[in-house]
Amino acid sequence: MPTEKKKSIVKDLVETIDKSNIIVLADFRGVPAPKLTTLRRRLKAVNSEIKVVKNTLSRLAARESGKEELVKSLVGPTAITFGYGDISAPVKALVAYQNETEGFTIRDGLLGNKIYGKEDIMTLATLPSREVLLGRVLGQMNAPIALFVGALASPIRGFVGILQARINQLEEK
């Protein structure tokens, strides 16, 4: 029979899963608690958080929130990172932490309703931020318009140049 405390943990976890944009699972065997605190601070700075919850409670929460795909990945000691903003920011923080901490390994992650493997999650770390990507898209959308305006202005600029040359020529006489 589940206790009230466990029901509360599952309820909180369901709410966290529902509001997160990305969920990343990691193995943290052998990582001391003070080092995890460092990671918690880094993740908080990028609008994310990491939780260590018993797998049975995590599975219950995943089922309740409709994320059945997540259930299969909850095996062994698992640290679950929830990202609420830019999907690449928590992954970048986790990859940096993984590179400097022995025993911490990213396993896989959930984006939308699909589980992605370690390689796919690591690829997210190389992506630019959302703002940079939006800037690139807007720049590409603006380029044809800018070229069109330049093409329209070019004959006028040429004509003005010819007139100015003629004025200079007449002034020299």
Domain boundaries, the chain: 4-127, 128-173
Residues with pLDDT less than 70, the chain: 1-2
Backbone angles phi, psi at 21, to 5 degrees: -85, -35
pTM (2 decimals)? 0.73
Q: What is the pLDDT of residue 121?
A: 87
Q: What is the pLDDT of residue 81?
A: 92
∠ Cα 99 105 111 (to 5°): 105
pLDDT of residue 1: 44
The secondary structure of the chain as a DSSP string is ---HHHHHHHHHHHHHHHH-SEEEEEE-TT--HHHHHHHHHHHHHTTEEEEE--HHHHHHHHHHTT-GGGGGG--SS-EEEEE-S-SHHHHHHHHHHHHHSTT-EEEEEEETTEEE-HHHHHHHTTSPPHHHHHHHHHHHHHHHHHHHHHHHHHHHHHHHHHHHHHHHHHHH-
pLDDT per residue as tens digits for the range 42-61: 999 999 999 988 888 998 89
CATH class of 4-127: alpha beta
Could you read off the pLDDT of 14-46 as tens digits, one per residue? Answer: 999 889 999 999 998 888 888 888 889 999 999
- Residue 131 has what pLDDT? 82
